Amino acid sequence: MQKRKLGKSNLEVSALGLGCMGMSFSYGAAKDKNEMISLIRAAVDRGITFFDTAEVYGPFTNEELVGEALAPVRDRVVIATKFGFNTDGDGRPGAQSLNSRPEHIKLVAEASLQRLKTDVIDLFYQHRVDTEVPIEEVAGAVKELIQAGKVKHFGLSEPGVETICRAHAVAPVTAVQSEYSLWWRKPEAEVIPTLEELGIGLVPYSPLGKGFLTGKIDENTQLGSNDFRSTLPRFQPEAMKANRAMVDLLETMGKKKNATPAQIALAWLLAQKPWIVPIPGTTKLARLEENIAAVAVELTADDLREIDEAAAKITVEGARYPERLEAMTGR
């Protein structure tokens, strides 16, 4: 497995990470814990060293799963988790209220350390920007945790450019996590140039469009009421039917490269910048191995130009989030 450094930090991780949320949260019923432990350990065996979770996934159960799975190999892996929500919501993504008060951040850190069975969090993200708390206070709290040896690196998830710059001035930001893929390219306008200027890494979540870019989901797919995607405008049948054009593009390039649509989608992301580390999630070993194989798919400058020109002709239908959740991003 190739390695990458997140920006100018000394945080080196596998070129592809593993997003663990879906193992216990958001995409239908939680999966069998022992099977997911085996999957996480299989990822380690195959060279993945970067694992993503959050206290709010569950809440708490995903951190517990990741902690138990990685405890035997803790010295070989990098664990990222997140703070910034109260955990008194009804269990739906985004149902919880925001809370990035410094005293809350420190309580979350202590609890996450326990659940993750570790004495240090490698990368601690603010999950969503809390407009009630100045970002300087948030960065200051994490800086204190770093000075106390409880956190190694500070990250932000779905921030706007001003927030990134203000936070970075207080405590160096190692990584920004934002949705980024061929069907959500908004970070290219302002966020990615800012990260390049400041030397901050980018960790794209949902790099496979929450599963849509794999080609395994279409307008006939029945998403259960406990599947978060059923609430998203982009996953309504008419939108999925219109957005099939993006999958067709990936399939066309895949035939040229002897690769699957998912592998082309990931290879495209990896080709954008050397400090981009996508974190596709999965609950299946075959998909894990398919995703890992994407690291070996080489897209030439001509391939990338062909993909960009074709993608520019496709209008993606449907918002990525309902308005309330979208309002929590880019702040």
Residues 176-223: pLDDT tens digits? 999 999 999 999 999 999 999 999 999 999 999 999 999 999 999 999
Q: What is the pLDDT of residue 240?
A: 96
Amino acid identity, residue 105? I
Give CA–CA dist 52/65, Å, rounded. Answer: 11
- Are 120 and 151 in contact by the 8 Å Cβ rule? The answer is yes
Is it the case that residue 236 has pLDDT exceeding 70?
yes
Q: Which of 63-67, 96-100, 295-299 has the lowest mean pLDDT?
A: 96-100
Q: What is the pLDDT of residue 28?
A: 87
Residues 143-162: pLDDT tens digits? 999 999 999 999 999 999 99
Instruction: Identify the structural domains of the chain with CATH numbers, from first to last.
Output: 3-208+272-296 (3.20.20.100)
Q: What is the pLDDT of residue 87?
A: 85
Model-level pTM? 0.97
Q: What is the pLDDT of residue 88?
A: 76
Residues assigned a catalytic role: 57
Give CA–CA dist 188/22, Å, rounded. Answer: 26
Q: How far is CA 111 from CA 55, 68, 94, 118, 120, in A?
A: 9, 15, 20, 11, 12
